[in-house]
Amino acid sequence: MIPRYQQILFAVLLFSALVMGGVLWHLRQRAHERLLAGEDSAPTKAPAVAPAERSTLMVANDADGSLRVQERVLPLPADPNARARVLLGELLNLYAARGAAHPVSGGAAGVAQVFLMPVPGAKKTADPGAELAVVNLTGNFVASHPSGLETETLTVLSICGTLRANLPRITEVRFLVDGQERANLAGHADLTQTYLTADAVNTGEARP
Amino acid sequence: MRWSRGPAAGLAVGCAAILALTAGVLPAKAQAPPSSRFVVVIDAAHGGADAGGRLSSGQLEKNVTLELSVRLRSLLAARGIAVTTTRESDIDVDAVRRAEIANHARAGACLSLHASETGSGIHLFTSSLAPTQPARFEAWKTAQGAWISRSLALAGAINFALLHAGFDVTLSRTALTAVDSMTCPALALEVAPARGADGKVTAEPDDATYQASVANALASALLEWRMEGRQP
């Protein structure tokens, strides 16, 4: 004869097991639905192509240490962060091309992200709309960059100059490499400081 | 900045000095009158584990800069100019230490020597820092700001001598940690290959004859610079 308390305990355990099984089944169903919903939200239409716009690239030239203005017509996204990244990607593609005047391998993939944010304390200045661009370069791009004072300086200046030419609100630029601060680009140009885009135009001796 | 006198002011000055030093700021006699002894600081860039760039010839930048440093030091010494170098062998010297050596020497001119396989001729760089007014205390990383006008004048003198010697010269500005922290007329000088009219390399930066002619032109320029500094 099974004692009464054991019968009650068995019934409670059985009930608990059934409840837990039900909960597990419910969670599984929810996960499955979520998965299906995710698949449904995948794009089924081709993304709209951004309209082509005239843009200006400040292209470095190692032969005479100058920045040359180069006009391009590119499809540029409306979002300023994405727009800045596309512009810098185009610039780095030029440097990765065969016979480039400022050869640097890596191309557009060398710029991981560009983030725009208000310049700290800009609201109290004469230019409250001034923006700081944080350019996140990839470690591969930096590792493959030729070492040299002039070549590194030209890369930094051409990035700053291109941003200024197309997004004039950007007055300052900071660089990160794989999301981290880095002492220099390839042994020379200081990447810890904030660069003023106005200096890029003055220093680079831009030539048409 | 003008400091008032008195015990309280003295205490304030002392506290400010301690705070400035602990915050990584060191005193600099910006635009101080040059000492009677004219000293040139030669900074052979890189060294030790930091090899710098690699030239087309396979030579490492750290070796080329050291060779050029030794040549220039000898030429300057022969002309009676006192020289301080940041390194005499293949050792690690960080950017802060290089600036410390230069600032301690109270030099009349500081040259940071580099070499590269890109570009052509000689690349002269002054600091990209904005010019600032001389102050009693300068922030370490922007100390060169108070010396920009003198550095540009030095760049002009060296540019003239190099052009006179037949070199292609490119003048520009850059952000280089060691130079930005120096409290003297300071330049970074990068020796690139000499190229002919067709763009072909005629001499690599590690070529002994090429280096000797660069060092000669620099020595002449620094001799002129010393004479210029002595004029009232």
- What are the mean pLDDT values of chain A's consecutive 10-residue runs (208 residues total)? 91 96 95 76 66 92 92 91 95 94 94 93 76 96 95 96 95 95 94 89 50
The reply to whether B18 falls in a domain is no
Rounded distance between C-alpha atoms, residue A97 and residue A89, angstroms: 12
Residue pair A49/A153 in contact (Cβ under 8 Å)? The answer is: no
Side chain identity, residue B113: L
| Contact state of B119 with A151 under an 8 Å Cβ cutoff | yes
The reply to whether B163 falls in a domain is yes
Q: The domain spanning residue B210 has which CATH number?
A: 3.40.630.40
Q: What is the pLDDT of residues B18-30, one digit of tens each?
A: 444 444 444 344 4
Rounded distance between C-alpha atoms, residue B59 and residue B91, angstroms: 17
Range of B136's domain? 35-230
Nearest by CB to B118, which of A150, A195, A204?
A: A150
Can you read off the two tokens belonging to residue B174?
Answer: 């850059």
Q: Which residue is it, tokens 């900074």? A: B43
Q: Which residues of chain B have pLDDT under 50?
A: 1-34, 231-232
| Contact state of B54 with A65 under an 8 Å Cβ cutoff | no
Whether pTM > 0.90 for this model: the answer is no
B190 touches chain A (CB under 8 A): yes
Q: Which residue is it, tokens 């200096």? A: A199
| CA-based nearest distance B69→chain A, Å | 17
| CA-based nearest distance A91→chain B, Å | 19
The ipTM (two decimal places) reads 0.80
Mean pLDDT of chain B: 86
pLDDT at A42: 61
pLDDT at B229: 72
A147 touches chain B (CB under 8 A): yes
Chain B residue with minimal CA distance to A145?
A: B53
Mutate to test the interface with A, among B68, B112, B116 (most CBs of A within 10 A): B116
pLDDT at A206: 41
Mutate to test the interface with B, among A62, A105, A150, A182 (most CBs of B within 10 A): A150
pLDDT at A46: 66
Q: Which residues of B touch A147 (CB under 8 A)?
A: 52-54, 61, 116
DSSP secondary-structure letter at A107? G
pLDDT at A120: 83
Q: Which residue is it, tokens 């590792």? A: A143
The reply to whether B70 falls in a domain is yes
The reply to whether B199 falls in a domain is yes
Chain A residue with minimal CA distance to B201?
A: A63
The reply to whether B62 falls in a domain is yes
A179 touches chain B (CB under 8 A): no
Q: Classify each residue of B212-225 as buried b or exposed e, where b means 16 or more C-beta atoms within 10 Å of its C-beta.
A: ebbbebbbbbbbeb
Side chain identity, residue B203: A
| CA-based nearest distance A48→chain B, Å | 41
| Contact state of B119 with A186 under an 8 Å Cβ cutoff | no
The reply to whether B75 falls in a domain is yes
| Contact state of A62 with B46 under an 8 Å Cβ cutoff | no
B43 touches chain A (CB under 8 A): no
| Contact state of A195 with B175 under an 8 Å Cβ cutoff | yes
pLDDT at A199: 82
What's the total number of domains in chain B? 1
| Contact state of A150 with B119 under an 8 Å Cβ cutoff | yes
A144 touches chain B (CB under 8 A): no
CA B60 to chain centre: 20
CB proximity under 8 Å: B 127-146 to A: 128, 141
pLDDT at A38: 67
A77 touches chain B (CB under 8 A): no
CA A168 to chain centre: 19
The reply to whether B7 falls in a domain is no
